[in-house]
Amino acid sequence: MNLSVTSIAIFSALIMNANADIYIPEGNSGTILHLAPDFSIIDRINGVENVHGMAFITSKNLIVAGNLSASSKDEAEKINKPEGMSQAEHDSHHQAAPSDNEAETSIVTFLDAKSHKLVAKIEVPGVVHHVEADQAGHYAVVTHPAIASVSIIDLETRRLVSTLKTGEIPEYAVADPTSGLFYISNAGSKTISEIDPASQKILRTFQLDGGPKHMRLITKLGALAVAEADEGTVSILDLNTGNTVSRFDVGGELHGIESDGDFLYVSAREKDTVVRIGLQNGIKKTVELSEQPYHMTLVGSDLLVSSASDALVWVLNSKNLQIVKTLETADIAHQMVSTQ
């Protein structure tokens, strides 16, 4: 039997992602696209306004989605109570959130990943840019760039427990599955904050040369890969010492970043390219991806890359960076997650 290279790539992708569903927030369309492992559409989740940041918690089969649009207090009070929830429990999920601007809040939505049913909604101060959760299912953290803070959410009670100042323009958050600590990139301060969600304290602050934005934890190296977006540089931080141990020049207003432990994958928006970097040897492979490669997530051997200019997601084979499939979305796709 003769198979084309493309057929083999698609077949391999299906094997690698046999158990991984994919969720893509579609921004202003007010929807989340739910894809099967073969990238076919299962459904769209409706009624989630302007979701940019999103996390999936495996242990709870739960999606946490943040709203990039601010809601007034009056709007927030109109949140519907989920069926089967007592009024007292509903009220406890919507306590007033501490904020520099008490007139504005935004909504964090909790959804059952399988049934798509609403589990809860809570208010947080300011708009939510990105979302992260620890896979043990204890805490979620959402970033608020406009108020130099992050909100820490208890996933057991689905309550806001603290809003913590970390630095100017907090962009992204990643959780360490071993320590349970979270790392926050503060683009305006050129720092990364290490926070303990249990104590709601900043433990350490790492200084960088450029403003950090998207990040990825490289667990097997005990390191953090950081896109210093405006510098066009990726830095690798040793989490034990907090020191920068290596830097890779990419250029082109960096955005998405991923890693499989052996390679880094970075989207360079201005250059319309995706770059793969060998972590051991620094060797780069660059492919053109037009226009404006944006958010990315690695699912098995597939690298999903959205576009900042068009409503689509490219699926690349991470081994050779060839396009396997192009997916149409209802709007610009943002922080994508999978059940992997």
Instruction: Calculate what percentage of the chain has a pLDDT beyond 90.
Output: 83
Instruction: State the pLDDT confidence band at 74, using cuts at 50, 70 and 90.
Output: low
Domain-wise residue ranges, the chain: 50-205
In which residue are the tokens 């009624």 written? Answer: 47
Into which CATH architecture does domain 50-205 fall? 7 Propeller (2.130)
CA distance to 127, 157, 161, 184, 193, per residue, from 200 (Å): 20, 16, 8, 13, 12
Q: Which of 105, 79, 106, 102 is nearest to 90 (CA)?
A: 79
Burial (CB count within 10 angstroms: exposed 0-12, middle 13-18, buried 19+), residue 102: exposed
Instruction: State the pLDDT confidence band at 156, using cuts at 50, 70 and 90.
Output: very high
Encoded tokens for 310: 């068009």
Write the DSSP assignment of 116-184 as a string of letters.
Answer: --EEEEEEEES----EEE-TTSSEEEEEEGGGTEEEEEETTTTEEEEEEE-SSSEEEEEE-TTT--EEE
CA distance to 56, 65, 223, 234, per residue, from 245 (Å): 30, 34, 9, 11
Instruction: State the pLDDT confidence band at 73, using cuts at 50, 70 and 90.
Output: low
